[in-house]
Amino acid sequence: MSERQDFDEYRTERPAREADALLTVADVLAMPALQAGSPDVIVGGGALEAAVRWAHVSDSAGVARLLDGGELLLSTGAGWPDDPAALREFAVGLHSSGVAGIVVELGGAHAVIPDAVVDVCTEAGLALIALTSEVKFVAVTEAVHRALIAAQTGALRERQHLHELFTALSLRGAPADVVVAETARALGAPVLLENLAHEVIAQESLRMPVADAVRSRHRSDAERIPVQARGVRWGTLIGLPGPAHPAGRLTVLEQGATALAFGCLADGGDTEWALLAQRGVIDDLLGARFASADDIAARLEAGGFRVAGRRCHGILLRGTGSISDLAYRARLAGCAVVAARVGDDDVALLSLPASAVLGDDMLAKIAGPDRTVFVGPPADEVLDLLASLRAARDLADSDPSDAGPRIRRVDGRPLERLVARLRDDHRLHEHSERMLAPLIRHDRERRGDLLDVLSALVAHPGNRSAAAAASHLSRSVFYQRLTLIADLLDADLDDGETLAALHLALLARRRTASS
Residue 370 lies in a domain: yes
pLDDT at residue 512, as a whole number: 63
Domain co-membership, 404 together with 438: no
Q: Is 209 in contact with 199 (CB distance < 8 Å)? A: no
Domain co-membership, 341 together with 254: no
pLDDT at residue 13, as a whole number: 35
Domain co-membership, 351 together with 329: yes
| Amino acid letter, 358 | L
The per-residue pLDDT for range 210-226, each reduced to its tens digit, is 999 999 999 999 999 99
Domain boundary among 225, 251, 269: 269
Domain co-membership, 130 together with 163: no
Residue 466 lies in a domain: yes
Average pLDDT, the chain: 86
Burial class (CB in 10 A: 0-12, 13-18, 19+), 97: middle
Residue 241 lies in a domain: yes
Domain co-membership, 477 together with 378: no
pLDDT at residue 176, as a whole number: 92
pTM score, two decimals?
A: 0.64
Residue numbers of the domain that contains 114: 37-134
Residue 336 lies in a domain: yes
Residue 272 has pLDDT above 60, yes or no: yes
Domain co-membership, 408 together with 459: no
Domain co-membership, 310 together with 404: yes
Integer Cα distance of 229 and 234 in angstroms: 9
Domain co-membership, 362 together with 431: no
Domain co-membership, 398 together with 498: no
> For residue 336, what are the β-bridge partners?
351
Residue 139 lies in a domain: no
CATH of the domain at 368: 3.30.70.2730
SS3 per-residue string spanning 79-145? CCCCCHHHHHHHHHHHHHCCCCEEEEECCCCCCCCCHHHHHHHHHHCCEEEEECCCCCHHHHHHHHH
Residue 18 has pLDDT above 70, yes or no: no
What does the chain come to in residues? Answer: 515
Would residue 492 be called left, alpha or beta, if left means φ above 0 and alpha means ψ between -120 and 50 degrees?
beta
Domain co-membership, 180 together with 130: no
Domain co-membership, 172 together with 246: yes
Residue 19 lies in a domain: no
Integer Cα distance of 201 and 92 in angstroms: 48
Chain-centroid distance, C-alpha 256: 15
Domain co-membership, 167 together with 252: yes
Domain boundary among 223, 252, 269: 269
Residue 495 makes CB contacts below 8 A (sequence gap 6+) with none
pLDDT at residue 6, as a whole number: 47
The per-residue pLDDT for range 160-210, each reduced to its tens digit, is 999 999 999 998 888 999 999 999 999 999 999 999 988 899 999 998 999
Residue 27 lies in a domain: no
The per-residue pLDDT for range 326-342, each reduced to its tens digit, is 888 998 998 999 999 88
CATH of the domain at 75: 3.40.1390.20
What percentage of the chain carries pLDDT values higher than 70?
Answer: 91
Query: What total number of domains does the chain contain?
Result: 4
